[in-house]
């Protein structure tokens, strides 16, 4: 694995047929891509909000199923604690879910793929790419 995909990238992928993101997914081996339990939770929550929740949840599950799923585990928790402390000391804290996603990426030595560079770029040592630009 090389990439951990943030929720906002999955949302763009799910909503749009023709995007740079879709092209990147199609040209990147699925073994290089991971999704984390936090993104799963955010996407499944989003599925409950609009239209037919069961249909939307099934679409999320079908789309994400081919990719490895990484949990927020003890090593992630350690990275979370150190990173949150550093960000608080610098006055640059980010959202809790984004911090957990960043911690999972750091724990697994992955690059976060996001369209939210402003938040993730604050995390020391985190590699970030934006496939939407």
Structure confidence by residue, pLDDT tens digits, 40-99: 999 999 999 988 999 999 999 999 999 999 999 999 999 999 999 999 999 999 999 999
pLDDT at 2 over 90: yes
Averaged pLDDT for residues 89-115: 98
Instruction: Supply the range of the domain harboring residue 57.
Output: 3-129
**Cα angle for residues 111, 13, 16 (degrees, 5° grid):** 150
Averaged pLDDT for residues 19-25: 92
Q: Is the pTM of this model over 0.75?
A: yes
Which value, in Å, is the radius of gyration of the alpha carbons in the chain? Answer: 15
Name the band, by pLDDT with cuts 50, 70 and 90, for residue 106: very high
Q: What is the pLDDT of residue 25?
A: 93
Q: What is the pLDDT of residue 37?
A: 97
- Domain CATH code at residue 63: 3.40.50.1010
Helix, strand counts (H, E) of the chain: 7, 5
* Residues 36, 57: Cα–Cα separation, whole Å: 16
Number of structural domains, the chain?
1
* Mean per-residue pLDDT of the chain: 96
- Residue recorded with tokens 């609009």: 50
């Amino acid at each position: 694995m090389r990439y951990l995909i943030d929720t906002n990238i999955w949302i763009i992928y799910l909503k749009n047929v023709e995007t740079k993101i879709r092209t990147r997914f199609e040209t990147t081996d699925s073994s290089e891509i991971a999704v984390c339990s936090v993104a799963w939770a955010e996407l499944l929550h989003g599925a409950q909000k609009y239209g037919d929740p069961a249909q939307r949840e099934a679409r999320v599950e079908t789309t994400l199923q081919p990719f490895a799923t990484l949990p927020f585990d003890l090593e992630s928790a350690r990275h979370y604690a150190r990173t949150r402390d550093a960000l608080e000391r610098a006055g640059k804290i980010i959202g809790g879910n984004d911090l957990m996603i960043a911690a999972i990426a750091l724990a697994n030595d992955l690059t976060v793929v996001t369209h939210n560079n402003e938040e993730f770029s604050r995390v020391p040592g985190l590699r970030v790419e934006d496939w939407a630009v």
